[in-house]
Structure 1
Amino acid sequence: MQFSSFTFWPLIVLLGLCLGSFLNVVITRLPVMLMRQWRQEARAQLALEEETPPRFNLAQPRSMCPRCETPLRWHDNLPLIGWLKRHGRCAHCNGRISVQYPLIELAGGVLAISVALLYGPDWQALWVYAACLTLLALAAIDWRLQLLPDILTLPLLWAGLLYHWLFQPAFLGDAVIGAVLGYMSLWSVYWLFKLATGKEGMGFGDFKLLAALGAWLGWLALPLVLLFSAGLAAILGLAYQASTPQARGTPMPFGPFLALAGWIMLLAGDEALAVYLSIAS
């Protein structure tokens, strides 16, 4: 993969913004697609008549205003530019368009630049960037709906093992152990908490996400991932509940904090792990 310095960075930024725009489609539509699928499966189990809803997938229908459902013009779909040009409002009904859209697009661009700076124009960079985008989609979906879909977490896990098999075969054993320990650690916490309180403290998607991070990062990185994610969740959770008293007792998704810790370790894991091991020793 060879690029001149003149074309490399504009291409990276453009690619990141466009993939961030596509990620918005995944974040908003994938949960609806899954809900429809689960509904159809439930109706089939109950021997109810099959429903035939309008076609709905990642490609159809066209992008539209979430309020008035007016299809967006092509220039309103341009990453960042479309939202900023309309000041975050629909051109037809003047309803507000969520700030999620430009933020995800911007995050896609920032992640692209970060991965390119660390890995350069290399095939490994594409794998790591795909993992970062998957974590971004999982974080956004879990934040909105407290849902970590298997259709994203399981491919992320297998992709981590395949990445090491292709590029770092000497690390594959650590990755396999990381996947197993990642799942079992949160699974154990889940059952200890449930036996002690009779309540569910987290969902099974969290186990699978930490297993995927273990596959990418190896078992040695798991304590740092848990330290980062639990610390961030505690700090932000306490701050949110202190500023919003009516939110006290409301469940808070853990997936976004696991994803954030995963980004830190994917992009700066060697340095963080070296500091951690030096302190631990």
Structure 2
Amino acid sequence: MIEWNFYPYLIFVSIFGLCIGCFLNIIIHRVPIILRKQWNERVHDEKKEKYNLFVPGASCPHCHGKILFIYNMPILGWLYLKGKSRCCNNKINLRYPIVETLTAIITVFIMIENDSIWPKIAALILAWSLIVLAFIDLDKRILPDCITLPLLWCGLLVNVEGMFTSLSSAVIGATVGYLFFWLTYWLIKKLTGKEGMGYGDFKLMAALGAWFGWEIIPFLTFISSFLGIIGYISLRIFTKITNKSIAFGPYLAISGIVFIFFHKNFNYFLY
């Protein structure tokens, strides 16, 4: 029987998830720009401009007009504006409501699990990071080191006391995860002369190995590869996109989110 205070809790967590999703959209949009600016400053000695996740304030990506707070409200702002920016009437990327909704759903499911608070916080950090990485990779074909590497170290840290797996399994998982994809990359390159994946994929798999242990590497590889094949076939059939390569990071991220919810069952099956 559901307790009377469950529904207020559910509403609060849903709103919290939507707000986090709004912030994740900022990260998805701004991190590639920050990295590009840093590169230009180093290589071309361009003048440094203050640009981070908070400065400048929210602005239209098309005309750079200032966005009022009321139009920045998760989901509601997009619905009120009917998917078009008020300043220049350009379409607002559908990614914004998708990320907000997806983040809210995943946050709710994590928070209603019967875990203690610390595993929930760790799972939320992992899930939010994977959402950011998935959408950055979809948009820009990069998996930034500033997210994948801290995620790897966090995976080792949370498993010091065996939160998701043993520390030894986490260390081996990080190593095997990286080396497995690294060897696959070079094997494909030697056989075909083409790069089958990027170095960011190695680091993301290493991070997932650090979070869940070396035992899940084959399963993560199978799930992400299967999803990647389905995604590639779908793109060729239902869209006009004919690129020979696809972003693999989103499929790794999806498989990682799946294991957030099923790692207990997986560990029970193994042991």
Q: Which TM-score applies when normalising by structure 2?
A: 0.93
What SS class does the counterpart of residue 62 from structure 2 fall into?
A: coil
* Ranges in structure 1 where 5+ consecutive residues have no aligned partner: 44-49
- 262-271 vs 106-115, which deviates more? 262-271
Whole-Å Cα distance in 2 between the matches of residues 120 and 7 of structure 1? Answer: 19
In the TM superposition, what is the alpha-carbon distance from 1:271 to its structure 2 partner? 2.7
Aligned amino acid, residue 29 of structure 2: T
1:262 aligns with 2:263: no
Distance 2:176 2:157 in 1: 18
1:105 aligned residue: 100
SS class of match (1:79): coil
Change (3 A) 1:214 1:95: same
Superposed, 1:75-154 pairs within 5 Å as: 75-120=70-115, 122-154=117-149
Q: Which amino acid aligns with 2:27?
A: V
| Partner residue in 1 for 2:228 | 233
Residue identity opposite 1:257 in structure 2: Y
Deviation at 1:117, TM superposition (A): 2.0
CA contact (8 A) 2:165 2:211 kept: no
Give the superposition deviation at 1:118: 2.0
Instruction: Determine whether 1:73 maps to 2:74.
Output: no
Q: Residue type matched to 1:36 in 2?
A: K
C-alpha separation in 2, matches of 1:273 and 1:89? 46
CA contact (8 A) 2:156 2:170 kept: yes
Judge conservation of contact 1:89–1:97 (CA < 8 Å) in 2: yes
| Cα shift readout 1:125-164 (whole Å, capped 9, x = no counterpart) | 0111011000000000000011000000001001011011
Distance in 1 of aligned mates of 2:164 and 2:226: 32
Task: Please give the secondary structure, in 2, of the residue aligned with 1:184.
Answer: helix
User: Which ranges of 4 or more aligned residues in structure 1 deviate by more than 3 Å?
Assistant: 4-7, 166-170, 272-275
* Cα distance in 2, alignment partners of residues 231 and 14 from structure 1: 33
User: Partners in 2 of 1:122 and 1:265 — Cα distance?
Assistant: 18
Q: Which has the higher helix share?
A: 1
Q: Tell me, in whole angstroms, the C-alpha distance in 1 between the residues paired with 2:163 and 2:139.
A: 35
Q: Find the partner of 1:206 among 201, 207, 211.
A: 201
Q: Please name the residue that 2:170 is paired with.
A: 175
Q: What is the aligned counterpart of 2:157 among 162, 175, 196? A: 162
Alignment correspondent of 2:41: 40
Match of 1:13 in 2: 14
1:165 counterpart SS class: coil
1:11–1:99 CA distance, 2 compared to 1 (3 A)? same
Contact conserved, 1:221 with 1:273, CA < 8 A, in 2? Answer: no
**Compared CA separation, residues 248 and 95, structure 1 to 2 (3 A):** closer
RMSD (Å) for aligned C-alpha atoms? 1.9
Q: Number of paired residues?
A: 267
How far apart are the structure 2 equivalents of 1:119 and 1:42?
Answer: 50
Gaps of 5+ in 2: none
CA contact (8 A) 1:224 1:273 kept: no
Give 1:64 deviation, angstroms. Answer: 1.3
Does residue 186 of structure 1 match 2:181?
Answer: yes
In the alignment, does 2:241 pair up with 1:247?
A: yes
Q: Any idea what the Cα deviations from partners look like across 1:75-127, whole Å, max 9, x if unmatched? A: 10111111111111111221110111111111110111111122456122011
Identity of matched residues, %: 36
AA paired with 2:258?
Answer: I
Given that 1:178 and 1:218 are in contact with CA atoms closer than 8 Å, whether structure 2 keeps it comes out as yes
Instruction: Provide the TM-score with structure 1 as the length reference.
Output: 0.89
Q: 1:9 to 1:119 in 2, by over 3 A?
A: same
Q: Which amino acid aligns with 1:18?
A: C
Deviation at 1:273, TM superposition (A): 5.8
Q: Is the 8 A contact 2:119 2:163 kept in 1?
A: no
- Check the 8 A contact 1:124/1:167 in 2, yes or no: no
